[in-house]
Amino acid sequence: MSDVYSRLRDIVRGGPRPPAKELAYEPEPGYEAGPDPARLAEALGGRSLDTAAGPCLVVDRRYEADRWHGRVRVGDCEVADETPLRLLDGLLPQAAAHGRRDGPATVFVDLETTGLSGGAGTVAFLVGCGWFDLGAFQVRQFLLTRFAGERALLAAVADLVRPADLVVTFNGKTFDLPVMETRWLFHRLETPFADKRHFDMLHPARRLWRYRDGTPVTRPVPTVDAMAECSLGALERDLLGVQRIGDVPGFEIPSRYFRFLRGGDPGPLEAVLEHNRIDLISLAAVMARACRLVTDGVDACRDAAECLALGRVLERTGDGRRAEACFHRAVERGGPQVQVTAWRRLAGLFRRERRYAEAAACWQEILAVRSRALDVVVARREALEALAVHHEHRAKDLDGARAFAREALSGAEAARRAASLRHRLDRLERKLTHVQTKGRPEGRPLLAERQAGGDDQA
């Protein structure tokens, strides 16, 4: 502290300033030398890799194609065609033409860091990279044995990633890649991820499996509990049947690394490296599962919730035919809430395709569902309004339209829509009165009335 005060006094008095230092970590006393690299490599089953910035400890593991990861084989997790990836992520650009490569085309990346807050103070002390090689899954992990060696770790990671065309992560858009880019920027180095295509598996996973446990699927904003079920650990357990034994919890990983730095004992890191390796294999397997769903369609779905989720994904891509098949299968297999949501999606799909009679039939099916769940009640009110519109403007049945509008207005959930429903009822009453008094054929509203209701859609 006295040294800091001395420097401040020199600056204020215009005295000599300390020489500029490179923007990097200054190790604390006792950390300069770090653990013995040869002993670490032997203990962790790794080796020292020479880079332009110095040596870096790497640990290689290879998982052959016939090895099981839960209920799937490692070799079955390789995705050869990128078309499903672009369907799952509409922003993923098409692969550019490349000649001969000096490394893998697709690299899976997962980090273990000193904290989860991000920013300049968060360091990735373990960078795990995986890729498929002749059917087997190759994993290479870069371990930061001391803070002064971070530049060497970044150089080693850059050498591996630079030839790749696609980087795959789980929540990498929010955390992994920003953390790594911050570290390269911190050392005034160019990031190798700048020109790489990036596929973040978290967002397709949420669309496909956030409600796989039977949670109501019509909520516009998922709950915190539902989102927690989309962690990589939960997905590998539910989708792949992976049961980790003796795994280290994620919150304990930073403390294990700091314990290693203080004492030099690599024992606490062995479970961390294994945790990172399983994450990489699970990431590849979950991505392969998502691609298989998009490719095979409804026949690859396990249950009604997955059918419904896949239908929504296919609907977003414009594949209405396969989406319709998924929604129908969800109706066959699902409970009341899944059925109601599937009917709603079908009705919207039919309406966009101008199949108005089939859309009205879907709304009628919703009215036949008996459940007090909030999602069903809301869908029932929506169905009544849609049927009122359909009977007024499509079927030209004013009496039927009035009946549906009255029933919708009488519902407890109609408070926010009461003004609109009353306006519709008033217009229907005027139309019916005009038909009865003038003797005009029913279903031929006046031009002004048609224009007033022209914004409605069945």
* pLDDT (tens digit per residue) in 124-153: 999 999 999 999 999 999 999 999 999 999
The answer to which of 77-81, 119-123, 186-190, 201-205 has the lowest mean pLDDT is: 119-123
Gap between the Cα atoms of 8 and 413, Å rounded: 67
Gap between the Cα atoms of 260 and 114, Å rounded: 12
pLDDT-derived band at 226 (thresholds 50, 70, 90) equals: very low
| C-alpha distances out from residue 340 to 206, 314, 414, 444, Å | 21, 19, 18, 34
Long-range contacts (CB closer than 8 Å, 24 or more residues apart) made by 348-357: 349/315, 349/320, 349/323, 349/324, 351/457, 351/458, 352/320, 353/320, 356/390, 356/394, 356/458, 357/394
Average pLDDT, integer, range 177-194: 93
Radius of gyration over alpha carbons of the chain, in Å?
30
Percent of the chain whose predicted confidence (pLDDT) is above 70 = 81
Average pLDDT, integer, range 260-266: 90
Q: Is the pLDDT of residue 97 over 90?
A: no
The answer to which of 59-68, 300-309, 347-356, 433-442 has the lowest mean pLDDT is: 433-442
Longest dimension (CA), the chain: 103
Percent of the chain whose predicted confidence (pLDDT) is above 90 = 59
Average pLDDT, integer, range 350-365: 95
Q: Is the pLDDT of residue 343 over 90?
A: yes
pLDDT, position 101: 65
pLDDT, position 438: 67
Q: Considering the chain, what is the average pLDDT of its residues?
A: 84
Q: Is the pLDDT of residue 89 over 90?
A: yes
Burial bucket for residue 324 (CB in 10 Å: 0-12, 13-18, 19+): buried
pLDDT, position 13: 63
The answer to which of 148-157, 195-204, 433-442 has the lowest mean pLDDT is: 433-442
pLDDT, position 409: 81
Gap between the Cα atoms of 369 and 336, Å rounded: 7
Residues near 57 by Cβ (< 8 Å), separated by ≥ 6? Answer: 37, 40, 41, 44, 46, 47, 48, 49, 142, 143, 145
* pLDDT (tens digit per residue) in 387-425: 998 988 888 888 888 888 888 887 645 556 677 777 777
pLDDT, greater one: 121 or 82: 82
Average pLDDT, integer, range 318-341: 94
pLDDT-derived band at 429 (thresholds 50, 70, 90) equals: confident
pLDDT, position 1: 53
Please name which of 56, 66, 253 lies closest in space to residue 157, comparing C-alpha atoms. 56
Q: Is the pLDDT of residue 454 over 70?
A: no
Please name which of 290, 197, 187 lies closest in space to residue 236, comparing C-alpha atoms. 290
Gap between the Cα atoms of 356 and 42, Å rounded: 71
Average pLDDT, integer, range 294-309: 94
Average pLDDT, integer, range 224-246: 79
pLDDT, position 5: 61
The answer to which of 25-34, 156-165, 181-190, 208-217 has the lowest mean pLDDT is: 25-34
pLDDT, position 45: 94
Average pLDDT, integer, range 261-271: 91
pLDDT, position 281: 98
Asked whether 230 and 206 are in contact (CB, 8 A), the reply is yes
Q: Which amino acid is at 30?
A: G
Average pLDDT, integer, range 342-360: 95
Average pLDDT, integer, range 74-99: 88
Q: Is the pLDDT of residue 9 over 80?
A: no
Average pLDDT, integer, range 164-171: 96
Gap between the Cα atoms of 257 and 35, Å rounded: 13
The answer to which of 22-31, 32-41, 62-71 has the lowest mean pLDDT is: 22-31
